[in-house]
Structure 1
Amino acid sequence: MTRYIFITGGVVSSLGKGIAMAALGALLQARGYKVRLRKLDPYLNVDPGTMSPYQHGEVYVTDDGAETDLDLGHYERFTGVSARQTDNVTTGRIYQNIIEKERRGDYLGATVQVIPHVTNAIKDFVLSDAGDVDFVLCEIGGTVGDIEGLPFFEAIRQLNQELDVQQAVFVHLTLLPFIASAGEMKTKPTQHSVKELRSIGIQPHVLLCRSERAIPDGERRKIGQFCNVKHDSVIEALDSEHIYEVPLDYHRRGLDREVLRHFGIKDAPEPDLTRWNNISKALRSPDGTVDITVVGKYVALPDAYKSIIEALHHGGLANQVRVKIKWVSSELFDDSDSDLESELSGSHAILLPGGFGERGATGKIRAAQYAREKRIPCFGICYGMQMAVVEAARNMAQIEGAGTTEFGSPNAKIVGLMEEWTKGNSKEVRSESTDLGGTLRLGAYSAILKSGSKVAEIYGTDRIEERHRHRYEVNIAYKEQLEAAGLIFSGLSPDGLLPEIVEIEDHPWYIGVQYHPELKSRPFEPHPLFSSFIGAAKIQSRLV
């Protein structure tokens, strides 16, 4: 029997529901259970694919091509369970599906309403495609009381009534602020949040209380009494030294034990936390620090590069070093008079992440040139790889007018719009007039690596599969010119038409990839490219 855990939040957003759910999933896994993690997002966008990174952070892409919330990245990194299309849904997608059904006449003339039609669609999503897992964990985005979230709260309330006894547990994450001027921790925001939740028919079983300070036992008892929650089910959630220590901290405070108790599971095996303890030890005792400069377009909001941040730290774990990230806006270098030396000279390695549009493009090109000429390890990802190829075309191959059609009409179209490609057994076709949403080359695609290349050595194989999210592609027609100048096309699509990887042989470490390797990196299984990149930075820093 599959059991369901619903994670809700109150008082304020950004308390860490996604991390909390990922950590709980990891703890259940450590006890030998199979888990699946899902996110229900109340916003009206069909998916986050067209949303600004400043609004929503990064777009996380699954193997099957779903553009999803960044919390799914946390779920995968903590549990290793690959997310699917069926693990993230928005109000927009729910309404889109319902309206399509109504237009087809599937409702047989019935008046289509929030209850039962919208709530039924949400319930169907929660219950679908669970397979043989023991627990499905569902995070409800936003906070209790948000008007757009009400259908989701109503749907999980109904599910609690429809499922068998002890088949659903509600975990509510809330805030316990400390008022310094009064010298007191205030429980009232939590009380009001739970009151709001109970007013719509949901009684939380477990309270996860985020606080900057230890919660006195008296305050925990007070919260339990006023919120109708057992004292032991009021769990303290302090800031952890590192997010990969959250599972260990939550286990010490009894989160997984209390959840299992509410399910009536008394004979659960003790968790095997060996790998989490090993990660904790590695994080606390590195051999040194490497300085990585990320030259990006959205550096004002680090969540726009969340998976890259984590993959860099995973590479640090693999090399037993601490990774210190310096954020530099690529716009700083758009002006040819800007001083790259002052911003980049202390870098042990430079990473050029993905992005879209003209703003900051020249800056990325100049940063790529600096890394190439100064022989600093450089890693270009997606858009960053494309700008690195444009730089190589201009300055290594001396191709006049080299540029990208993403903005402008260059004489030499080094990077251009992808008009068709193969996906499975079908052909995907795009044009300038195609809608932006959901029309990129998305999901897992294979690449063939060049024998003897650096990437083939790093991967230890000649065929890989990585996740993509892009609309523009390096033009294969310039392959011979660029290779003659020293930029090697070391990875191509199986049909040989789409460049996937470029590298410079005569350089300590200079690799660009069209895909997003950060999406497949895990703390207990760092991505080989990030491990190698941080290894090169470690050599650059003279730690070895």
Structure 2
Amino acid sequence: MKYVVVSGGVISGIGKGVLASSTGMLLKTLGLKVTSIKIDPYMNIDAGTMSPLEHGECFVLNDGGETDLDLGNYERYLGVTLTKDHNITTGKIYSHVIARERKGDYLGKTVQIVPHLTNAIQDWIERVSRIPVDDTGLEPDVCIIELGGTVGDIESAPFVEALRQFQFRVGKENFALIHVSLVPVIHGEQKTKPTQAAIKDLRSLGLIPDMIACRCSEELEKSTIEKVAMFCHVGPEQVVNVHDVNSTYHVPLLLLKQKMIDYLHARLQLESIALTTEDIQRGAELLNKWKAMTGNFDASMETVKIALVGKYTHLKDSYLSVIKALEHSSMKVRRKLEIMWVEATDLEPEAQEAEKSKFHEAWEKVSTADGILVPGGFGIRGTEGMILAARWARENKIPFLGICLGLQIATIEFSRDILGMKKGNSTEFVENLAEEDQVVVYMPEIDKEKMGGTMRLGLRPTYFQEDSEWSKIKKLYGNASSVEERHRHRYEINPKLIKDLEENGLVFVGKDETNNRCEIFELKNHPYFVATQYHPEYTSKVLDPSKPFLGLVAASANILDDVLEGQFEFGSHGAEF
């Protein structure tokens, strides 16, 4: 097993996740099987109870693990399926060590950070790195390990020490370190001092970088690369210039151009890994598809405008998987994507009285958008604005996609306007809501006391109902009888209302295995009015876009029929993937 560690210095949020994912993707183009682990130094057990406005999106895995958003990057770029154990947090590690201490596993020893905690971290990495993550079912060849936070932070100290020890446990030829640093441009001059300081700190902790990835707003000058190399004790070929590009999907090609993969091939002695002709061919095909996909991105001319009506729009990372699923879909149909961010509260009548400019700006975006998307979320704030957006899409035949909360919102709107339930609402939003007004209810099996890990989580099946041949969403899924998608919710549509809703045109074309829980609805006689209780964005891949999102983007671009006819399949005349 080969290990590539990606760490960061100078500032957080420097792009370690994209660089780690891009490095893994390039290793896959060699025919290697690649897996990934994310280390998060926070004390939380997982990301499930963290505010999206503080931490960004909570990403959900097949096994129900609620993890850091970077695991979404790994799955999208690498085309793998990770587990909750691929996300290591300080909370998980301490809980693991304390549980062992309580069982007496340490035989009366004084339990310490070194060696007990650091050994537990190393054991965890070795165990998880060998878990098969693709359809081959084989053990991976390479594991990418991203160390979250910034080297030097007190929170990450045990993990840095564990990795220092780990390089000797696995051997020099099996361990490489890429350190991502910042080269700011001040008054037109590229400054290397922050990177020099970051590398000095890294070396003082016992970790020697094999490559330094310099993030910069512009392409690095040759003199800057030489200066970083000289003062950081590496060769110029070990300094990688990661400047701003059109999209993050161009980063793998940027790294490829600088022969990063050639250096890692020699440094890790990758020729020692036996590969079949099929492995090599599959890797070459992946690279060709990726190049064609980025070409599609650059060649896109016509714009499709999607209004994203949400409640966490002040931090775009709160909807990272949604953004990526929209990007994947727009690239496939060769359209330039414009996301029009709409804070849901700005659509509500109260906003007109408080701030007229925001109110009018929000409604201008909704009314001029080609399509409308209402994503997931929790709590009552902004829900009335979302309801108004859903009504606008339904009445004006604007393509619409609702996800999780979006499905519940659109059903509430339909119940109020079409079924006459003027006070219809969700029991999440209104305490002691009268039974006759309950459109959305708490799922009976969910624990109401504990918050963490108690939702309906992970990969679950949805079965398309009989007489749903007309359904656009079913056709997008290739007329499959069932699909498996990832869930994260506590509330559901009131089963008592299903009959009335369907008789009035809101058809639940997809239900769970009990045939009672609603998973997908679709409105008849509408260009595209679809909502899912699950989160399809979690399984969208760069080269295989999520079907509900693809439907929204295609319908918004007036090419849904072309997509359904297969004109934009990979390798067809419509697209050049």
Asked if Structure 1 and Structure 2 have the same fold, meaning a TM-score greater than 0.5 normalized by the shorter chain, the answer is yes
Name the residue aligned to 1:497.
516
Shift of 1:416: 1.2
Q: Does 1:158 align with 2:181?
A: no
| Contact 2:309–2:373 (CA under 8 A) maintained in structure 1 | yes
Structure 1 residues 251 and 372: alpha-carbon distance in aligned structure 2, compared to 1, 3 A threshold: same
Shift of 1:250: 0.8
Q: Does 1:177 align with 2:184?
A: yes
Tell me the amino acid that sits aligned with residue 451 of structure 2. L
| Contact 1:348–1:541 (CA under 8 A) maintained in structure 2 | no
Q: Does 1:444 align with 2:451?
A: no
Q: Does 1:515 align with 2:534?
A: yes
Encode CA deviations 1:248-299: one digit per residue, 9 max, x unaligned: 1110012211222211346897962201111111001124001100000001
Shift of 1:15: 1.2
Tell me the amino acid that sits aligned with residue 483 of structure 1. E
Q: For 2:7 and 2:364, how far apart are their aligned partners in 1?
A: 46
Q: For 2:232 and 2:269, how far apart are their aligned partners in 1?
A: 21
Shift of 1:318: 2.2
Q: For 2:339 and 2:245, how far apart are their aligned partners in 1?
A: 19
Name the residue aligned to 2:415.
393
Give the total of aligned pairs.
Answer: 531
Shift of 1:242: 1.0
Q: For 1:165 and 1:15, how far apart are their aligned partners in 2?
A: 27
Encode CA deviations 1:91-118: one digit per residue, 9 max, x unaligned: 0111122222222333232222111121
Q: For 1:541 and 1:165, how far apart are their aligned partners in 2?
A: 53
Q: For 1:341 and 1:539, how far apart are their aligned partners in 2?
A: 22
Question: What is the TM-score when the length of structure 1 is the normalising length?
Answer: 0.94
Q: For 1:267 and 1:249, how far apart are their aligned partners in 2?
A: 26
Q: For 1:476 and 1:109, how far apart are their aligned partners in 2?
A: 55
Name the residue aligned to 1:426.
none
Name the residue aligned to 1:423.
none
Encode CA deviations 1:306-342: one digit per residue, 9 max, x unaligned: 0111111111122211110000001112336555743
| Contact 2:48–2:67 (CA under 8 A) maintained in structure 1 | yes
| Contact 1:379–1:512 (CA under 8 A) maintained in structure 2 | yes
Q: Does 1:483 align with 2:526?
A: no
Q: Does 1:81 align with 2:80?
A: yes
Name the residue aligned to 2:230.
225
Encode CA deviations 1:373-418: one digit per residue, 9 max, x unaligned: 1111110000111111111111111124311111223222211111
Pairs within 5 Å for 1:312-327:
312-327=326-341
Name the residue aligned to 1:462.
481
Q: Name whichever of 226-235 and 295-304 sits farther off.
A: 226-235
Name the residue aligned to 2:575.
none
Q: For 1:194 and 1:165, how far apart are their aligned partners in 2?
A: 19
Local SS of the residue matching 2:102: helix
Shift of 1:223: 1.6
Q: For 2:325 and 2:363, how far apart are their aligned partners in 1?
A: 26
Q: Does 1:348 align with 2:364?
A: no
The correspondence for 2:439, drawn from 414, 426, 451, is 414
Shift of 1:42: 0.3
Local SS of the residue matching 2:486: strand
Shift of 1:542: 13
Local SS of the residue matching 1:443: strand
Question: What is the TM-score when the length of structure 2 is the normalising length?
Answer: 0.89
Deviating 4+ runs (over 6 angstroms): 267-271, 540-544
Q: For 1:480 and 1:164, how far apart are their aligned partners in 2?
A: 64
Q: For 1:465 and 1:62, how far apart are their aligned partners in 2?
A: 12
Local SS of the residue matching 1:292: strand
Q: For 1:108 and 1:532, how far apart are their aligned partners in 2?
A: 59
Local SS of the residue matching 1:482: helix
Q: For 2:363 and 2:380, how far apart are their aligned partners in 1?
A: 23
Name the residue aligned to 1:211.
216
Q: For 1:341 and 1:332, how far apart are their aligned partners in 2?
A: 8
Pairs within 5 Å for 1:123-162:
123-129=122-128, 130-131=130-131, 132-162=139-169
| Contact 1:401–1:410 (CA under 8 A) maintained in structure 2 | no
Encode CA deviations 1:338-383: one digit per residue, 9 max, x unaligned: 5574331101000000000011111111111111111111100001
Q: For 2:550 and 2:52, how far apart are their aligned partners in 1?
A: 26
Shift of 1:17: 0.4
Q: For 1:210 and 1:5, how far apart are their aligned partners in 2?
A: 19
Name the residue aligned to 2:448.
432
Q: For 1:319 and 1:29, how far apart are their aligned partners in 2?
A: 25
Q: Does 1:40 align with 2:39?
A: yes
Tell me the amino acid that sits aligned with residue 485 of structure 1. N
Q: Name whichever of 519-528 and 26-35 sits farther off.
A: 519-528
Encode CA deviations 1:408-432: one digit per residue, 9 max, x unaligned: 2322221111122xxxxxxxxx242
Tell me the amino acid that sits aligned with residue 198 of structure 2. S
Q: For 1:247 and 1:267, how far apart are their aligned partners in 2?
A: 24
| Contact 1:332–1:363 (CA under 8 A) maintained in structure 2 | yes
Shift of 1:485: 1.7
Structure 1 residues 30 and 542: alpha-carbon distance in aligned structure 2, compared to 1, 3 A threshold: closer
Q: For 2:306 and 2:559, how far apart are their aligned partners in 1?
A: 11
Shift of 1:21: 0.6
Structure 1 residues 97 and 542: alpha-carbon distance in aligned structure 2, compared to 1, 3 A threshold: closer
| Contact 1:39–1:88 (CA under 8 A) maintained in structure 2 | yes
Q: For 1:35 and 1:283, how far apart are their aligned partners in 2?
A: 26
Pairs within 5 Å for 1:246-261:
246-261=251-266
Local SS of the residue matching 1:365: helix
Q: For 1:401 and 1:196, how far apart are their aligned partners in 2?
A: 61
Q: For 1:26 and 1:395, how far apart are their aligned partners in 2?
A: 49
Identity %: 39
Q: For 2:117 and 2:144, how far apart are their aligned partners in 1?
A: 20
Shift of 1:539: 1.3
Encode CA deviations 1:137-190: one digit per residue, 9 max, x unaligned: 00000111100000010001000011123110011010111111xx42111111
Q: For 1:516 and 1:97, how far apart are their aligned partners in 2?
A: 30
Please, which runs of 5 or more residues in structure 2 have no aligned partner?
132-138, 274-279, 353-358, 564-577
| Contact 1:292–1:349 (CA under 8 A) maintained in structure 2 | yes
Shift of 1:45: 0.8
Shift of 1:540: 8.7
Please, which runs of 5 or more residues in structure 1 have no aligned partner?
421-429
Shift of 1:89: 1.2
